[in-house]
Amino acid sequence: MTDHDAKEALRDDIRWENPIHHERRIRVICIGAGASGLLFAYKLQRSFRNFSLTVYDKNPDVSGTWTENRYPGCACDIPAHSYTYTFFPNPNYTHSYSGSEEIRKYFQRFASTHGLDRYIKTEHEVQAATWDDAQGKWVVKVKDSKSGEVITDTGDFLINATGFLNNWKWPDVPGLDNFEGDLAHTAAWPEGLDLHGKRVGLIGNGSSGIQVLPAIQPEVRSLTTFIRHNTWITKPFGKDGPREYTEDEMEEFKDPNVLLGHRKEAESGMNSMFGVFLRDHPVQQEARKIMAEEMEARLDGDKALSTRLIPTWSVGCRRYTPGPGYLEALRAPNVHVVYGGVTEVLPNGCRTSTGETVELDTLICATGFDVSHRPRFPLIGRGGVNLQDAWAESPRSYMSLGAPDMPNYIMVMGPNSPAGNGPVLLAIEAQVAYALRMLDRLQTENIRSFVPKASAIEEFNEYVDAFMEKTVWKDACKSWYKNGTTDGRVTGLWPGSALHFTEAIREPRWDDWDVTYQGNRFSWLGDGYSQTETTPGADLAWYLSNEDRTEWGSRWKRREAEILPTEETEEEDKFVQGKLVDDGVRRDSAAAVAA
């Protein structure tokens, strides 16, 4: 009998039909084809079979925030090589803080390299999603923006990858509609907007305002910026300021080991800063001193500006932004700073809380996003609960991933995700890995639904609220971390470092989920055959060896095997340039924050 005949004979064997952990067919719907949705599609494709997936995205192209944010000066505000998936480096970044277009291209290249287009429907906006308990499925209404047609899709599992800084908002001031000049929001920049020689107003000094101001200042006739609150402006993270890489460096980065060394250095810097976010930590005190001196120096003794700009609250209470050129541009002769908000927009300008009236040709709103985490469409789960209502006051997630009464629903970057606690793509990878663990069980253990237990959600949020009291995020600054309030709950961040988050969610706590099955909960045991016996060519005695190669039994050993160098990795490290800095510098260092 040939091998082929043997396989054919096996196929007729009953064991093929229903071995243990037989994967049932599942359909997955993902909303959003930005960094999170693309990663999810890739990871699902990489590890799963017998599934179907559609990723809906409202935009004409993939890459989410990076396809939407195209304002002048828009760039990564962390070292660019820390802004890649952990396994897909980008030797093409030309700048240490690359611009949005290069980042957009990176995600597009990721999608095309892995053939993800086959799953993605662009210009399709999800309008509603309803859990049908009888079927155990999500029923999703999606509008095709080109044809206007509304289609209905059905899936076993719903991934919300819509991003946490996506729903941009105009300032809440009267008269905006009456403005007769050009009106722009940084997150929806009008193509071809001509600022040359114009009298421009800029509302906002968050990360977007801080980037756009120095980029447009040289070309405009005058620039009036309205600043309601002070903010920390830092030097760029890491030893590399924003600069173009040299030809030699670009050539070196083609060597994956050289690039890995560079990436590790940048990433270790990002992972060394958590102490700054703890109120009483010496790093916070030190960082504050260093940053205040640094800002004063950059403002070149301009007392009026330093008094107005340097905060009294802690560094990191609201996102601190490396603002290359921002402080310097504020002092340019064509820039006028109004220390107050815009209270009314007039047909030809703005009225301010300081009583001034400023005439403008163009008004730019760098006024941020709706960060309430309320879904933008009705999301109706078990018992008819609409998450828009349930989270009207404040979003309370299960460990950033799950939502109350929402079966088979995982959010990437949901409430209390580590959106500013360290490398964000690392956190996204951890969340996607969690979703896959859940899908794996759903598919192979005859599970109908997972819903986070109300008690687990309650206790998680209790823990979060108590922890946040110790952090600088609870200081009296106005911030999107607290849903745009000064004294609200911290819902924009995780209660710990980014690495803490990855360790927290790495092994799902199944006891926090209510599980329902399709019929007998043990039917996944199947017809008595193992997967091993039904895999052609499998080694039926794969477990025999001459040494113990089994997985470590404790978290401690599993972790150490990954994070501490072995003799082999030490040897490899010799070939990796730019090795990690020594421990003393790496851990919670003010130098890392302010360097």
Residues that bind ligand NAP (CB under 6 A): 75-77, 165, 171, 173, 203-209, 211, 226, 228-229, 319, 341-342, 366-368, 478, 480
- For residue 211, the minimal CB distance to ligand NAP (Å) is 6
**Nearer to ligand NAP (CB atom), residue 368 or residue 496:** 368
User: What CA–CA distance (Å, rounded) separates 467 from 504?
Assistant: 15
- For residue 313, the minimal CB distance to ligand NAP (Å) is 12
Candidates 155, 150, 126, 151; CA nearest to 139 is 155
**Nearer to ligand NAP (CB atom), residue 53 or residue 427:** 427
8 Å CB contact between 25 and 532: no
**Nearer to ligand NAP (CB atom), residue 214 or residue 407:** 214
**Nearer to ligand NAP (CB atom), residue 66 or residue 409:** 66
**Nearer to ligand NAP (CB atom), residue 316 or residue 381:** 316
What is residue 170's DSSP assignment?
-
Report the SS3 class of residue 571. helix
What are the residues facing 126 on neighbouring strands? 142
- For residue 202, the minimal CB distance to ligand NAP (Å) is 9
- For residue 122, the minimal CB distance to ligand NAP (Å) is 23
**Nearer to ligand NAP (CB atom), residue 84 or residue 211:** 211
SS (H, E, C) 59-72: CCCCCCHHHHCCCC
- For residue 124, the minimal CB distance to ligand NAP (Å) is 25
Angle between helix 35-47 and 100-113 (nearest 10): 20
- For residue 75, the minimal CB distance to ligand NAP (Å) is 6
**Nearer to ligand NAP (CB atom), residue 205 or residue 449:** 205
**Nearer to ligand NAP (CB atom), residue 483 or residue 534:** 483
**Nearer to ligand NAP (CB atom), residue 110 or residue 119:** 110
DSSP H stretches of helix in 17-79: 35-47, 65-68
**Nearer to ligand NAP (CB atom), residue 79 or residue 209:** 209
Phi-psi region of 466 (alpha: psi -120 to 50; beta: other; left: phi over 0): alpha
Q: Within 10 Å of residue 106's Cβ, how many Cβ atoms?
A: 23
- For residue 229, the minimal CB distance to ligand NAP (Å) is 4
**Burial per residue of 513-524, b for 16 or more beta-carbon CB atoms within 10 angstroms, e otherwise:** beeeeeeeeeeb
**Nearer to ligand NAP (CB atom), residue 229 or residue 586:** 229
8 Å CB contact between 82 and 267: yes
Mention every residue, 6+ apart, whose C-beta is less than 8 A from residue 302: 331
- For residue 318, the minimal CB distance to ligand NAP (Å) is 7
- For residue 322, the minimal CB distance to ligand NAP (Å) is 10
User: What CA–CA distance (Å, rounded) separates 429 from 418?
Assistant: 12
Report the SS3 class of residue 168. strand
Mention every residue, 6+ apart, whose C-beta is less than 8 A from residue 471: 277, 278, 279, 490, 495
Structure tokens at 251: 């050539």
- For residue 69, the minimal CB distance to ligand NAP (Å) is 7
The residue type at 181: G
Neighbouring C-alpha atoms within 13 Å toward the C-beta of 65: 18
Chain residue at closest Cβ approach to ligand NAP: 206
The residue type at 518: Q
What are the backbone dihedrals phi and psi of residue 529, each rounded to the nearest 5 degrees, phi first? -100, 150
User: What CA–CA distance (Å, rounded) separates 473 from 49?
Assistant: 43
**Nearer to ligand NAP (CB atom), residue 173 or residue 436:** 173
Pairing type for strands 335-338 and 349-352 reads: unpaired
Report the SS3 class of residue 222. strand
- For residue 256, the minimal CB distance to ligand NAP (Å) is 25
Report the SS3 class of residue 514. strand
- For residue 253, the minimal CB distance to ligand NAP (Å) is 21
What are the residues facing 26 on neighbouring strands? 51
**Nearer to ligand NAP (CB atom), residue 141 or residue 478:** 478
- For residue 188, the minimal CB distance to ligand NAP (Å) is 11
Pairing type for strands 409-411 and 157-160 reads: parallel
Structure tokens at 29: 């719907």
